[in-house]
Every structure is written in structure tokens, then in C-alpha cells.
Amino acid sequence: MKKKIKIQLLMVQGISLVLIAFCYVLCYDIFFPLYHNWIKEKQVMDAYLDIQDLDLAELEEKDYSMFLGYENEDLNFTIADEDLQPIYTTSENEEYNVYKNIEIKLDAFSADPGIIHRNTKLRETVKLRGILTQDNIRYYVVIKDISLRAMANKVTQQFFFFMSLLLTIFGGLAIYRISRYFAKPLEELADTAAQISQGDFSKRPSGNGAYEEAARLSQSLNTIADQLQQSKGQIDANTQRLLQQNVHQERVEKLRKNFITNISHELKTPLAVISSQAEMISYVGENDRAYYIASIQEEVVKMTDMVGGLLNISVLEHQMDSMVQKHLDMKEVIEYSIMRYDGLVKKKMIHLEQFIEEGCYVFGDQEYIEQAINNYLMNAFEHTEFGGNIRVTLKKQQEDIRVGVYNTGKPIDKADIERIWNSFYTTKKKKSGTFSNVGVGLYIVQSVITMQNGQYGVENLPKGVEFWFTLPKAQNGTELQ
């Protein structure tokens, strides 16, 4: 059964009061007599040292004032010379005091003063006997503390002041430790509540404390955290779904615009040719009509190919939304792709180099990655002359896997480097003045790599061009989340 904090606090308070009272009584019985004796011994010894500094053969007025000051502190003096003649006594009956305190106890005196304690029911006596020698004359000195126990108020007050100070210090430390003990489960709950308020639900109070209030509060806090986490999960899921829908909608809209733009741009030229050729048919003879009809048919074939390519791009980009991603070894993917071009390598007498690093793993769709690699390779074979060089590289970078396809050939104009990734982009060759249609291959590479969180590019290198792309690195045997 768990305890209640308020009951524990009342018990601690009661026990603390009892312990403080007990400590006071115990300290008074044990330490007060020791403290009282130490004070009186010091007082008696101070008086004896002051008497040593006096000229006992001829006491002055100030000397009597010194004795009076000590007598006000309950000290009693009896001083006699070696002939037992009184030099100074506190009591008026000097001869009796000398007889009682000195003469009958001469054997107890020595040059090294000794202190004697004697306890009675009402009085605790501290006595000092000693012999002082001045000008070859011996003086017997007796100093007694004659204070009653009940009248030792000053010493008692001093004692209780120091004891109160010590008990306050140690009691404060004890209360601090106890408060920390009681506050620990509450501090844990406060820290947990602060983390939950910031959206971090990883830390939960244990609820296994010794106190009923803390356990109930832990249970309530865990319930609230579970509800908040569930609500947050639903909100995150809905937000992610909306984001995905927005991204998909934007992509579809972009596809639609690109499709219309490409259609209108690419069909403009063949339509113009067909229109002009059709117009010429009505003006030419029977022998020339076959030529113009053949020209019209050729342009129709070109238009058909263009529309087919655009439709393929549209279908491809829609299919990318349902990619099947899995853990892939890029070494196996590239080696398989290169093997398919063995016949083309031998036909064009191309020198093919491979620099493939082990342990290059990614998380992606194998079909589309192979398509991107094949487009790079096919592009390299098309632009490499007979007997040229192609170099395929695969290597690990800090966070990515990089694939590069280099081929010897003419560099790409700076104005074309950013545009060649557009579908059906046409480049003009410098020397011949003819036009080269890039087609949809590089546009597909761009779409595939972008959809899989990778990067792509092209660089002009000495004696050739390298096309490359990177994909996020995956750990061996694990999948990227």
C-alpha cells in the first residue's frame, strides 16, 4: 500500500521535534558540565596569571580593582606570604581564611599550580593552589570558583547559543536531504511534463514511487501523454498524406503543362512542312506529286514517334509513384547492364574500362535505376566514335554512391549543359551546322534519379564527357527509412 506525502511530512515534523528536544537534553547533560568546567578553569587560570604580574609585597589601588572584577564573577581569593600572614583575602575574616585554605593544606601547594574539582548538590567548585616567588619570598595563592549551579546563567546562555547554532546547521542539512527525498518523484514528474509539453513523448514517469499522490499523478500524466501521442500521430499521418497528395498533384500539373508545351513545340515544325508540301501538290505535275506525298508521309512518321515518346514519358512518370524500392548492390546492377552491350562494344571496337568498388549499396527501384544506367550507356555508345573509349565508375562517397559514365568525344556547349535534360531538346553541331535531337533518355534519367532522392549531372573532361548520378547510401543489410 502506497503512503501519502502529507502524512509522511507530519511524521517527519513530529520526529524532528522529538529529536531536537532529545539532542538538547543529551547535549546539556553530557557537554554542558564539560563546557562549564572549561570556562571556569580558564577563568581561574587567567586570574592566577594576572596575580603573577602584581607586586604582592605592596598592592596598589588598581590591583584591588582587578581582584574586585574577578570576585564579581564568583571567584574567591586567599593569598598569604611564607609566614602565613594575609596579603589579600576576599572574606573579611582574613586569619580564618588563611588557616582554612592554606595553613592546614600546605602540603598540597607547589610551584606548578594544580586545579581541583569538587561537586556538591548546589555548588561545583573549581579550586587552584599554587606558590609564587617574588624577591625570594614565597606567596601561597588559593583561587576558588564559588558560583552556584543555578546561578550559572551566563555560561548556560553561551552554551545554548552555540548548541542552537550547531543544531540549526545540522538540522538544516538534514531537512534539505529529507526535502530532496520527498521532492524527487515530483521533480521527475515536472521534468516529464515539460518534455511532453514540448512534444517529446519518449520519457514517461514510472509510477512506481512510494507515494500515492505521485503514483496517481504519474498515471494521469501517462494517460494524457498516450492521448497526445495518438493525436499527434494522426495529425502527422494526415499532414503527410496531404503533403503527398499536394506533391502528386503538383507533379501531375507539371506533367500536363510540359506535355502541352512539348506537343505544341515539337509538332510545329512537321505541321508546317506538311502544310507547305500539301499546298505544293496542287501546283505540281503528276510526276512530282509522289515526291511531296512521300515527304508528307515522312513527317507524319516523325510526328507519330514524337507523340509516342511524349506518351511514354507521361506513363513513366505516373508509374514512378508506385516504385518498389529495396536494398540493391549497385555492383551487380552495373555489371549486368554492361554485359548487355558486349556485342556493341565489339562491333565499334570500343575500349571499355570498369572501375567498380565493392560494398556500394543503395535503397531504390532496380528497374528504374537500370533504365537510368542504360540511358547513360546508350548515350555514350551513340556519341563515341569507332575505336573510342568508355569508362564506367562506381564508388562510395561520404553519404552517397556515385555512378559515372565517361566517353571520348566532343565537349558539350555550356549553353546546352542545363537544357539537355529537357525532353526532345535539340542541339546544333558547330562544324556541320546540323541539329542533333537528344530525345527523352536524359529526361528519364533526371526523373528517375530525382524521384529516388538522388542528384545527376554532366561534366566536360579532357578529351570527353562524363554523365553521372548519385543515390543515398544504404548500410549493408539495412534499408533506408
Res. 155: pLDDT tops 60: no
- What is the predicted pLDDT for the residue at 273? 65
Grid coordinates given for 245: 497528395
Residue 434 has what pLDDT? 37
CB 383 within 8 A of CB 412: no
DSSP per-residue codes, 148-174: BGGG-HHHHHHHHHHHHHHHHHHHHHH
- Architecture of the domain delimited by 5-151: 2-Layer Sandwich (3.30)
Query: Above 70 in pLDDT, residue 269?
Result: no
Give the pLDDT score at 119.
66
Lowest mean pLDDT among 143-147, 148-152, 276-280, 359-363: 148-152
Residue 53 to residues 171, 212, 347, Cα–Cα distance (Å) = 47, 74, 130
pLDDT tens-digit profile of 92-103?
Answer: 888 888 888 888
Among the listed ranges 198-202, 209-213, 279-283, 355-359, which one has the minimum average pLDDT value?
209-213
Q: What is the pTM of this model?
A: 0.41
Report whether pLDDT(251) > 80: no
CATH class given for the domain over 324-481? alpha beta
Return d(Cα 120, Cα 438) in angstroms, integer: 124
- pLDDT tier for residue 356 given thresholds of 50, 70 and 90: very high
165-179 pLDDT, tens digit per residue, is 776 777 667 766 766
Per-residue pLDDT tens digits for 49-88:
999 899 988 888 898 999 999 888 888 899 999 899 999 9
Q: Is the pLDDT of residue 41 over 70?
A: yes
C-alpha 60/C-alpha 52 separation (Å) is: 14
Asked if 5-151 and 324-481 have one fold, the answer is: no
Q: Which of 286-295, 309-318, 407-416 has the lowest mean pLDDT?
A: 309-318
Query: At residue 378, does pLDDT exceed 80?
Result: yes
Would you list the domain boundaries of the chain? 5-151, 161-243, 324-481
Burial of 475 (0-12, 13-18, 19+ CB in 10 A): exposed
For residues 140 and 230, give the distance between their C-alpha atoms in angstroms, rounded to a whole number.
98
Q: What's the pLDDT score for residue 202?
A: 64
In this prediction, residue 260 carries a pLDDT of 63
Q: In the chain, what is the straight-line distance between the N-terminal and C-terminal CA atoms, in Å?
A: 46
Mean local confidence (pLDDT), 390-399: 93
Task: Give 462 or 13, the one with higher predicted confidence.
Answer: 462
C-alpha grid cell for residue 448?
528517375
pLDDT band at 480 (very low <50, low <70, confident <90, very high): very low
Q: Write down the pLDDT at residue 169.
A: 78
pLDDT band at residue 118 using 50, 70 and 90 as cut-offs: confident
